[in-house]
Structure 1
Amino acid sequence: MYATMNDSNIQFLGFWIVFSGVLLLTSQVLSKTDSPDVSALNVMYTSLNSPSKLSGWKSSGGDPCGDSWQGIKCTDSSVTKIDLSGLGLTGSMGYQLSSLTSVTHFDLSKNNIKGDIPYQLPPNVQHLDLSKNGFTNNVPYSISQMSDLEYLNLGNNQLNGQLSDMFGQLPKLKEMDLSSNSITGNLPQSFAKLSSLTTLHLQNNKFTGTIDVLTNLPLEDLNIENNGFSGSIPDKIKDIDNLETGGNSWSSGSSSISKKNNDKKGKGGGGGGGNSLAIGLTIAGVALGVLLVLIIIISVFSRKKSVNSSHFLDEERLSHRKSFSLGSRGQSGDSRRDFRDYKSVDSSASIDINIALQKSPSVSLKQSFSDNEFANRLHSRRSTSFRAISYALSDLQSATANFAAGRLLGEGSLGRVYRAKYPDGKVLAVKKIDSSHFQGDRREEFFSEIVASICKLRHQNIAELVGYCSEQGHNMLVFEYFRNGSLHGFLHMSDDYSKPLTWNTRVRIALGLARAIEYLHEGCSPSLVHKGIKSSNIFLDTELNPRLGDCGLAKFHQRTSQNLGVGYNAPECTKPSAYSMKSDVYSFGVVMLELLTGRMPFDSSKAKGEECLVRWATPQLHDFDALANMVDPALRGLYPPKSLSRFADIIALCVQPEPEFRPPISEVVQALVRLVQRSSLKLKEDLGGASRRMDFNDYDY
Structure 2
Amino acid sequence: MGLNEELIAVVVFLLVSMGCSDLDSDREALLSFKEKADLKQTLGSSWTGNNPCTDNWDGVICNSDNRVVKLRLENRRFPGVLENGLGQLTELKVLSLKGNNLTGRIPSDLSRCRRLQKLYLNSNRLEGSIPEALLTLQDLDRVDVSNNHLSGSIPAAIGGLRKLLTLRLEMNSLTGGVPDVSNIPNLTDFNVSWNNLSGPVPSAMASRYPTAYVGNSALCGPPSFAPCPPKSRTQKPSQQIIVIIAVAVIGAFVLSFSALFFGYRYLRASSKDVDKSDTATTGTEKKEMASGDIVFVTRDAGKFQLADLLQASAELLGKGSLGSTYKALCTGGFVAVKRLVDRTGCSKKVFERRMGIVGRMTHTNLLRLRAFYFYARIEKLLVYDYMPKRSLHNVLHGNSPGTPSRLSWSKRLKISLGVARCLKFLHHQCKLPHGNIKSSNVLLTERYEARVSDFGLLPFVPSDQALEKNGYRAPECQTASDISRKADVFSFGVILLELLTGKLPAEEESSGGDQAGNSSKMDLPSWAIATVNDEWTSAVFDNAIEVSKQEQMNGLLKVAMACVTRAAEERPKMIQVVQMIEEVEAIEVSPDLSYI
TM-score (norm. length: structure 2): 0.50
Matching residue's letter, 1:213? P
Pairwise CA distance, 1:475: 2.0
Residue in structure 2 matched with residue 644 of structure 1 by the alignment: 553
Cα deviation per residue 1:179-228 (whole Å; 9 max; x = unaligned)?
xxxxxxxxx988955679xxxxxxxxxxxx98623356599xxxxxxxxx
Residue in structure 2 matched with residue 618 of structure 1 by the alignment: 529
Residues 1:438 and 2:438 aligned together: no
Residue in structure 1 matched with residue 321 of structure 2 by the alignment: 413
Alpha-carbon separation, structure 2, partners of 1:589 and 1:616:
13
Q: Does the 8 Å CA contact 1:420/1:430 hold for their aligned counterparts?
A: yes
Matching residue's letter, 2:335? L
Alpha-carbon separation, structure 1, partners of 2:180 and 2:250:
42
Q: Does the 8 Å CA contact 1:650/1:668 hold for their aligned counterparts?
A: yes
Matching residue's letter, 2:407? L
Residue in structure 2 matched with residue 576 of structure 1 by the alignment: 480
- Consecutive unaligned residues of structure 1, counting only runs of 5 or more, are 1-167, 169-187, 197-208, 220-228, 238-242, 258-281, 308-315, 327-337, 349-390, 683-689, 691-701
The size of the alignment, in residue pairs, is 367
Pairwise CA distance, 1:490: 1.0
Change (3 A) 1:496 1:531: closer
Residue in structure 1 matched with residue 437 of structure 2 by the alignment: 533
2:462 to 558, 563, 568: 558
Residue in structure 1 matched with residue 427 of structure 2 by the alignment: 521
Change (3 A) 1:655 1:480: same
Pairwise CA distance, 1:599: 0.9
Residue in structure 1 matched with residue 114 of structure 2 by the alignment: none
Q: Does the 8 Å CA contact 1:192/1:216 hold for their aligned counterparts?
A: no
Residue in structure 1 matched with residue 390 of structure 2 by the alignment: 485
Alignment of 1:103-182 (within 5 A): none
Change (3 A) 1:503 1:320: same
Matching residue's letter, 2:323? G
Q: Does the 8 Å CA contact 1:557/1:563 hold for their aligned counterparts?
A: no
SS in structure 2 of the partner of residue 640 of structure 1: helix
Alignment of 1:117-516 (within 5 A): 212-214=199-201, 217=204, 287=240, 291=244, 339-341=297-299, 392=306, 394-399=307-312, 401=313, 407-425=315-333, 427-434=334-341, 437-439=343-345, 442-444=346-348, 446-473=350-377, 474-493=379-398, 497-499=402-404, 500-516=406-422
Q: Does the 8 Å CA contact 2:294/2:371 hold for their aligned counterparts?
A: no
Pairwise CA distance, 1:581: 2.2
Alpha-carbon separation, structure 2, partners of 1:210 and 1:577:
27
Residues 1:627 and 2:585 aligned together: no
Alignment of 1:577-596 (within 5 A): 577-596=481-500
Pairwise CA distance, 1:414: 1.0
Matching residue's letter, 1:619? A
Alpha-carbon separation, structure 1, partners of 2:480 and 2:574:
20
Change (3 A) 1:295 1:431: same
Pairwise CA distance, 1:648: 0.7
Q: Does the 8 Å CA contact 2:509/2:521 hold for their aligned counterparts?
A: no
Q: Does the 8 Å CA contact 1:532/1:564 hold for their aligned counterparts?
A: no
Change (3 A) 1:322 1:646: same
Change (3 A) 1:288 1:675: same
Alpha-carbon separation, structure 2, partners of 1:416 and 1:469:
15
Alpha-carbon separation, structure 2, partners of 1:324 and 1:489:
34
Matching residue's letter, 1:428? V
Pairwise CA distance, 1:248: 7.4
Pairwise CA distance, 1:482: 1.3
Alpha-carbon separation, structure 1, partners of 2:464 and 2:409:
35
Change (3 A) 1:518 1:301: farther
Q: Does the 8 Å CA contact 1:192/1:213 hold for their aligned counterparts?
A: no
C-alpha RMSD of the superposition: 5.0
SS in structure 2 of the partner of residue 462 of structure 1: coil
SS in structure 2 of the partner of residue 568 of structure 1: coil
Residue in structure 2 matched with residue 602 of structure 1 by the alignment: 506
Cα deviation per residue 1:299-344 (whole Å; 9 max; x = unaligned)?
7986878x9xxxxxxxx99x95966689xxxxxxxxxxx853467x
Alpha-carbon separation, structure 2, partners of 1:283 and 1:496:
73
With 601-610 and 462-471 compared, the bigger mean Cα shift is at: 601-610
Alpha-carbon separation, structure 1, partners of 2:504 and 2:254:
74
Alpha-carbon separation, structure 2, partners of 1:418 and 1:497:
19
Change (3 A) 1:497 1:438: closer
Matching residue's letter, 2:474? A
Residue in structure 2 matched with residue 13 of structure 1 by the alignment: none
Change (3 A) 1:302 1:651: same
Alpha-carbon separation, structure 2, partners of 1:232 and 1:672:
35
SS in structure 2 of the partner of residue 432 of structure 1: strand
Change (3 A) 1:218 1:432: closer
Matching residue's letter, 1:421? L
The percent identity for this pair of structures is 26
Q: Does the 8 Å CA contact 1:610/1:616 hold for their aligned counterparts?
A: no
Q: Does the 8 Å CA contact 2:178/2:197 hold for their aligned counterparts?
A: no
Q: Does the 8 Å CA contact 1:413/1:562 hold for their aligned counterparts?
A: no
Alpha-carbon separation, structure 2, partners of 1:579 and 1:681:
41
Change (3 A) 1:212 1:446: closer
Alpha-carbon separation, structure 1, partners of 2:254 and 2:317:
58
Pairwise CA distance, 1:496: 9.2
Residue in structure 1 matched with residue 575 of structure 2 by the alignment: 666
SS in structure 2 of the partner of residue 572 of structure 1: coil
SS in structure 1 of the partner of residue 586 of structure 2: helix
Alpha-carbon separation, structure 2, partners of 1:450 and 1:660:
29
- Consecutive unaligned residues of structure 2, counting only runs of 5 or more, are 1-158, 160-175, 185-195, 207-215, 264-284, 513-519
Q: Does the 8 Å CA contact 1:603/1:612 hold for their aligned counterparts?
A: yes
Alpha-carbon separation, structure 2, partners of 1:230 and 1:576:
29
Pairwise CA distance, 1:565: 3.9
SS in structure 2 of the partner of residue 410 of structure 1: strand
TM-score (norm. length: structure 1): 0.44
Larger RCO (CA under 8 A, 6+ residues apart): 1
Pairwise CA distance, 1:649: 0.6
Matching residue's letter, 2:553? L
Change (3 A) 1:644 1:470: same
Residue in structure 1 matched with residue 163 of structure 2 by the alignment: none
Q: Does the 8 Å CA contact 1:640/1:679 hold for their aligned counterparts?
A: no
SS in structure 1 of the partner of residue 576 of structure 2: helix
SS in structure 2 of the partner of residue 411 of structure 1: strand
Pairwise CA distance, 1:579: 2.7
Matching residue's letter, 1:599? K
Pairwise CA distance, 1:536: 0.4
Cα deviation per residue 1:661-694 (whole Å; 9 max; x = unaligned)?
2222222122112222334799xxxxxxx9xxxx
With 565-574 and 291-300 compared, the bigger mean Cα shift is at: 291-300
Matching residue's letter, 1:490? V
